[in-house]
Amino acid sequence: MSNAYQAIVIGAGPGGYPCGIRLGQLGVKTLVIEQEYWGGVCLNVGCIPSKALINAAKRYQEMVNGSQIGLVVDGTVSVNVTQLQAWKQSVVDKLTGGVRTLLKGNKVDMLVGTARIGKGNEVIVQTAEGEQRFTAPHVVLATGSAPIQIPGFDFGDAPVLDSTKALALGTIPKKLVVIGGGYIGLELGGVFAKLGTEVTVVEALDSALPGFDPDVVKVVWRRMQKDGVKGLFNHKALGWEAAKDGILVEVQGPDGKAKLEADYVLVTVGRRPNSRGLGLEDLGVAMDGPFVKVDRQMKTNVPGLYAIGDLAGQPMLAHKATHEGELVAEVIAGHNHQFDAKTVPAVVFTDPEVAVAGLTEPECKAKKLDIKVGKVPFAAIGKAIANHDTDGFVKVIIDQKTKLILGVTVVGAHASDIISEAALAIEMSAEALDVGLTIHPHPTLGEGIMEAAKAALGEAIHVLNR
């Protein structure tokens, strides 16, 4: 392995490995360094394994409740946790193996180790064989993020779970306390609730999914309550103690302190970028709190040093990291590219799912924009009725004067699969009529976006126009 490269990428997550692959495609001699997970947290212990368990839990619930649509299962439906975990891991292994194959196939060198940046863009890597040093005129930081730990809940303690440990549990807890009512807490809490766990969500603010459209929160929380999830809002978690049968989690709310019985406590209060230990302070890298400051080409204030993904700021989403990774590869190869996306769609894989592209209705109102909203419930969409899954709606927000689509919010089954049309519409500066006149296949859930666009214009066919 050579010690001199044209580009070095530190981190092989959803930002780093696409960056490495694209650099290889562009003929740039590249080294990708990964500390632990090829494919990053997302593929190994985050978005992919969590979606595998979310899918399994939903299927389990559908089997249990199948009699509602005439499907009767003779005998007891049960969960084999060992087999479930093995299947989940097989999904992860297939994808992470693909990452290494693609890097190798694009003639990118790979190294396992912990890296830091020295002067002159020298990269010092601590490997199992000892310290190694490399140089490159271009170094890309793609180190991702880690769960935030809060006082009183040390992730090193067995009953205290972060998302990684929760995804690897070998048993189904009888009782689980989830600290944090954001998307990670609700996704994982929803999995265990469907599998029979008594779940209590403790949230410091006054509702679940803080920052989301209240109309969306109502739909999601109503379904979670049907699954038996309890919520303690305006409550803070103080600590935990061992009990005879499990643990007691102490919380404090408007009415004082209380103790909740649990087998485990899952802490999901957010993530912090992995900016420490990289040597950024010694280099004088400009920071924005815990994030690295970058321009629209992902360049830092230090020549030849770039940052992408969670390290480079909000939103901390895998697909944003991938876009930035490919973008910075092309910048390094000499192309005049920059980050110019009008929207980064976001998805929450609760049941029902939530997906947002562009502005939400509350954001538009906060900006005092003159808008028109078209809203179509899934209960008016034939495919949703046939799927026996009608919770939720599609909401299209347009500019009252220009009719340009400003944002789309979807809450309902398969929201994650239909939001991309909305993202494309916003990127293309589409008007509501562009989407409304596009013939959508029937019966599909995607018809909801077409119908909501027409509703924003007062031309909906299958719902009353407001």
- The residues assigned a catalytic role are 442
- Give the bridge partners for 394, in sequence order: 376, 410
* Cα–Cα separations (whole angstroms), residue 38 to 81, 228, 429: 25, 37, 37
Question: Residue 264: helix, strand or coil by DSSP?
Answer: strand
CB 447 within 8 A of CB 429: no
CB 50 within 8 A of CB 91: no
Rounded to whole angstroms, how far apart are CA atoms 297 and 338?
5
Rounded to whole angstroms, how far apart are CA atoms 454 and 434?
10
Question: Regarding beta strands 145-147 and 346-348, do their DSSP bridges make them parallel or antiparallel, or are they unpaired?
Answer: unpaired
Q: 3-state SS of the chain: helix, strand, coil percent to 5?
A: 35, 25, 40
What is the DSSP track for 370-402?
-EEEEEEEGGG-HHHHHTT----EEEEEEETTT
> Which of 269, 261, 256 has the alpha carbon at shortest distance from 186?
269
* Cα–Cα separations (whole angstroms), residue 268 to 87, 183, 203: 24, 9, 10
Q: Which amino acid is at 170?
A: G
Task: Copy the structure tokens of residue 31.
Answer: 């080294």
CB 298 within 8 A of CB 283: no
The residue to which tokens 């509501």 are assigned: 432
